[in-house]
């Protein structure tokens, strides 16, 4: 409901590359994420609001803040503060800030039967580029409890959508170096040497390192403030039309699989 899961991991695929000094890399080009083909980790999101506090039980490490509509400091996250406000019996509003600026704002609303949680929000890229609208649908696992807010419980992600332009990424390999750019302003240039390189325009990670697996696959490690937050394996299909990314979040070990298709080259 109010974590990296809903803003970053559900809406944006990780990053990309591969190398060839004599021919075009299989990763070169513009790729579009296909949300309907995403395979989500079977572990549920577990959270609850009770006695004026929000608790994220599935987060690693777990964390809790007051749900009183004021900015509350948080650590080991993409944002510095979370503002959680109970709007009514079925709705919660959340605002995350980084360096005092709004990173995302969203509402989570439970259906009348209590079985579906709909998260609608807007993400604001750190460089001030065009905001990204997103919607995530979650289904309840088990039963609801009357002594906690209706948004509380165990939830499985059923589907997710984001602004069309937020699903597009362009990659270009030159020699042993990969350049990644997104319309949201996120970008980096890194070599396949296992060293850390800076990332701009992202809340989720500020450094990336790459290692080749084979001609059509490589491993990427993302870091935030020196800590590993995700390890991804990228593989392009033999026909060069499909990119599959197996993303493992750290330290939760939550594993999601993304699929992107190559867009036709512009003439």
| End-of-domain residue from the set 115, 134, 164 | 164
Specify which residues 132 forms β-bridges with. Answer: 123
Query: 14-18, 153-157, 174-178: lowest mean pLDDT where?
Result: 14-18
Contact 179, 189 (CB under 8 A): yes
Q: pLDDT digit string (tens) for 159-207?
A: 999 999 899 999 999 999 999 999 999 999 999 999 999 999 999 999 9
- As given in the structure block, the two tokens for residue 128 are 């001030």
Structural domain boundaries enclosing 122? 45-164
61 shares its domain with 27: no
- Its pTM stands at 0.85
68 shares its domain with 31: no
Domain count, the chain: 2
Q: pLDDT digit string (tens) for 76-130?
A: 888 999 999 999 999 999 999 999 999 999 999 999 999 999 999 999 999 877 8
| End-of-domain residue from the set 136, 164, 192 | 164
Distance CA 135, CA 158 (A): 11
Instruction: Name the residue among 194, 168, 191 with its Cα closest to residue 179.
Output: 191
Indicate the SS3 state at residue 150: coil
Write the DSSP symbol of residue 79.
S
Distance CA 169, CA 245 (A): 13
CA distances from 247 to 38, 132, 198, 256 (A): 11, 21, 20, 5
152 shares its domain with 189: no
What's the pLDDT at 267? 63
Half-sphere exposure of 195 (CA within 13 A, CB side): 9
| End-of-domain residue from the set 123, 146, 164 | 164
């Amino acid at each position: 409901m109010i974590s990296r899961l809903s803003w970053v991991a559900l809406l944006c695929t990780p990053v990309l590359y591969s190398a060839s000094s004599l021919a075009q890399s299989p990763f070169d080009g513009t790729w579009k994420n296909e949300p309907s083909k995403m395979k989500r980790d079977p572990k549920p999101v577990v959270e609850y609001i009770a006695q004026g506090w929000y608790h994220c039980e599935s987060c690693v490490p777990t964390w809790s803040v007051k749900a009183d509509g004021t900015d509350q400091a948080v650590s080991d996250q993409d944002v510095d503060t979370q503002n959680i406000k109970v709007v009514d019996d079925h709705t919660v509003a959340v605002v995350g800030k980084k360096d005092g600026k709004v990173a995302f704002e969203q509402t989570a609303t439970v259906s009348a039967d209590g079985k579906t949680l709909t998260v609608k929000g807007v993400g604001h890229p750190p460089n001030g580029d065009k905001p990204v609208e997103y919607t995530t649908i979650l289904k309840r696992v088990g039963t609801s409890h009357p002594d906690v807010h209706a948004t509380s419980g165990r939830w499985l992600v059923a589907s997710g959508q984001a602004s069309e332009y937020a699903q597009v990424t362009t990659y270009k390999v030159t020699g042993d170096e990969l350049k990644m750019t997104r319309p949201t302003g996120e970008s980096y240039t890194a070599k396949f040497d296992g060293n850390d390189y800076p990332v701009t325009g992202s809340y989720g990670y500020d450094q990336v390192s790459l290692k080749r697996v084979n001609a059509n696959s490589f491993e990427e490690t993302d870091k935030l403030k020196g800590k590993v937050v995700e390890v991804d394996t990228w593989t392009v299909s033999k026909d060069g039309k499909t990119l599959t990314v197996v993303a493992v979040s750290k330290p939760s070990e939550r594993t999601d699989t993304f699929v992107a298709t190559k867009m036709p080259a512009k003439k």
